[in-house]
Structure 1
């Protein structure tokens, strides 16, 4: 089975995904007039605006935090370790590339999710890839397909990845039995997902910033103690990204292909740009300013924070310590724990274990919310169905703590590629709408007025929008 999965991964990631991700990112960068570069200096203002509450949905900041909760999981810790182990220091460079081009892709998918959102039976905004495929493209069958992929990925497979990292971390740090780690984690997750979307949003808007800040601060502290090595590490990252380091030394090392593939795989699992997951969170917001592009810009902050900031913090610790050789079989999270012990002392393993518990817990809780959202699209959100979904989530958390690490990550790579291919196809087909949204927003910004989306200006889009989603906004 692992050999078959490895073959599928080689086909998907070696021949399709890298070109599709790069191509889509570059395409949306051009179609949105380089929006990620235009607004990177204004992220602070966008965050301030995102705190403004509006009726019918979460605040944009809450939507950002719940999307970050899903993004900031073991991929930011164990995934970075696996990327560097498989592709060398240069994999970090290609993770940065996935973030830079992925910001434009994230803007596209999250703006579309905002545009085609609709209210559920409780008056809460809902949306995501299934909605913009159904409404924007008129292809409900495609919406059903992506919903099924999301249910399998976020209801089942990705939860095993998170639980697997927690179990390995606790075993390494405290010799804690894997099965017990899974059971305890599953119990806390069951309690958290029982409070509903708004309850989870309130919890995550405090939990996510705190846990991210703790990890970044720890990384900066350790890096400051070895500041003399930082210039050499940065140079190594860039040289290794293109195979220059090995070519100069005449040694057989990491190739450009290894670095690029590992960086894109782990980068996408971390920031999720283009995968179709984040739009499920973006659609829940009552965006302010009241324009679809405003939420797209806020969600770009999530991609930047996740990969450029948090993953780089993890990578710096790994590269400073150089804890494992090329081709190691050590679990990704244990690489990071070894690195922290080498750099900071024996407390490092336990500290990393605590961080991965927080990251994994927040990620699994939001994975469930994404899966539940797609049950709503499929009109299968009865109490019985929701109980079955919750049972599936906690069983996969327990199972993930016991499964072998390579199998878990291989399954994640396969389902991630299938989701991304489906979602990227849809948003590329909808790229004229993305261009219209971006230019409408930029036009109003240039005029010095607060951007407001007026669907009556675009009759071809107005007919596809859900009734009540944009009707009550002030007109220009």
Structure 2
């Protein structure tokens, strides 16, 4: 009985957190844009610094061996960790959503736009806040969340670190709940969604959360990179196998748009795509 109450309470907290997260993200972007506006004169040089470092141009100019490869490898890993593009996790959300308009490509565009918001907006704003603050020291002790907190403290004072801590809590909590939901759906799909299977999954998730909280940031990132690399490898094979279907769906979507119609997909009109598709969803 106590377990039911506890899990019920967690679900209620998750629902509340999911409503707060968009608000926190919006406030975070607003603060970042205010900081950028206050330092607009330095922004062009900071952007060049970001681009130069991302492609190893700074390292090459300094004669550092392997600068391009090392910089791009680290950029790809952190970018993948940030937006999960190409990993195959986003389709779990798309599979549970109702696209509007009712066409598979519309949901694909929504997921692609999510990558833009995450990487181009949030990550770029964060990088600019850190670089404009002057708290970043290459090879220094401050990394990750602590670095962002110090940068925001430099810009807006003591409220900055508190705001980042609260935002990170909600971002991390909803990420854990979301990824657990993906795992539970996968277990059910594989026929392991029974009590024993789900209990084992929950124990492993809790163990990983505790382990991650106790480990160094570098250790957690290395474990995450290995896991995401495996996911991406499997997903890229699926992407190549389905590339013909994606092209056909995208052409169908734009053809309807050009004809002045609201794109709608009816699987009965495309028997070549009907295999493995639920006819009740796309009828």
Contact 1:192/1:365 (CA < 8 Å) preserved in 2? Answer: no
Matched, 1:223 2:36: yes
Deviations 1:163-206 (Å, cap 9, x if unpaired)?
A: xxxxxxxxxxxxxxxxxxxxxxxxxx9556545xxx96x65663
Partners of 1:418 and 1:460 in 2: CA distance: 30
State the Cα distance separating 1:434 from its structure 2 match: 0.6
**For 1:318, which of 130, 138, 141 is the aligned residue?**
130
Partners of 2:41 and 2:190 in 1: CA distance: 55
State the Cα distance separating 1:446 from its structure 2 match: 0.9
Indicate the SS of the match to 1:326. coil
1:327 corresponds to which residue? 139
**For 1:238, which of 40, 51, 55 is the aligned residue?**
51
Q: How does 1:64-463 map to 2 (within 5 A)?
A: 194=11, 203=16, 206-247=19-60, 250=62, 252=64, 255-463=67-275
User: Which deviates the most, 222-231 or 439-448?
Assistant: 222-231
State the Cα distance separating 1:437 from its structure 2 match: 0.7
State the Cα distance separating 1:296 from its structure 2 match: 0.9
User: Which deviates the most, 460-469 or 259-268?
Assistant: 460-469
Indicate the SS of the match to 1:323. coil
State the Cα distance separating 1:252 from its structure 2 match: 4.5
Partners of 1:253 and 1:192 in 2: CA distance: 54
| Change beyond 3 A, Cα 1:245–1:286 | closer
Partners of 1:217 and 1:190 in 2: CA distance: 35
1:44 corresponds to which residue? none
Contact 2:256/2:263 (CA < 8 Å) preserved in 1? Answer: yes
Indicate the SS of the match to 2:129. helix
| Change beyond 3 A, Cα 1:386–1:337 | same
Runs of 4+ in 1 over 4 A off after TM superposition: 189-193, 202-205, 250-254
| Change beyond 3 A, Cα 1:396–1:246 | closer
TM-score, structure 1 as length reference: 0.54
Contact 1:292/1:453 (CA < 8 Å) preserved in 2? Answer: yes
Deviations 1:73-108 (Å, cap 9, x if unpaired)?
A: xxxxxxxxxxxxxxxxxxxxxxxxxxxxxxxxxxxx
State the Cα distance separating 1:326 from its structure 2 match: 2.4
Contact 1:293/1:437 (CA < 8 Å) preserved in 2? Answer: yes
Deviations 1:281-336 (Å, cap 9, x if unpaired)?
A: 10111222221111111212211111111111211111112423323454421121
| Change beyond 3 A, Cα 1:246–1:421 | closer
Partners of 2:16 and 2:106 in 1: CA distance: 23
Partners of 1:213 and 1:464 in 2: CA distance: 39
Contact 1:400/1:408 (CA < 8 Å) preserved in 2? Answer: yes
Contact 1:318/1:339 (CA < 8 Å) preserved in 2? Answer: yes
Contact 1:246/1:252 (CA < 8 Å) preserved in 2? Answer: yes
Indicate the SS of the match to 1:279. helix
The answer to which structure, 1 or 2, has the higher relative contact order (CA under 8 A, 6+ apart) is 1
Contact 2:54/2:75 (CA < 8 Å) preserved in 1? Answer: no
State the Cα distance separating 1:420 from its structure 2 match: 0.1
Contact 1:190/1:394 (CA < 8 Å) preserved in 2? Answer: no
Contact 1:445/1:451 (CA < 8 Å) preserved in 2? Answer: yes
| Residue correspondences, number | 278
| Change beyond 3 A, Cα 1:370–1:349 | same
Indicate the SS of the match to 2:247. helix
Give the root-mean-square deviation of aligned CA atoms.
Answer: 2.5
- Flag structure 1 segments of 5+ consecutive residues without an equivalent: 1-188, 472-476
Partners of 1:205 and 1:277 in 2: CA distance: 18
Contact 1:193/1:368 (CA < 8 Å) preserved in 2? Answer: no
| Change beyond 3 A, Cα 1:316–1:438 | same
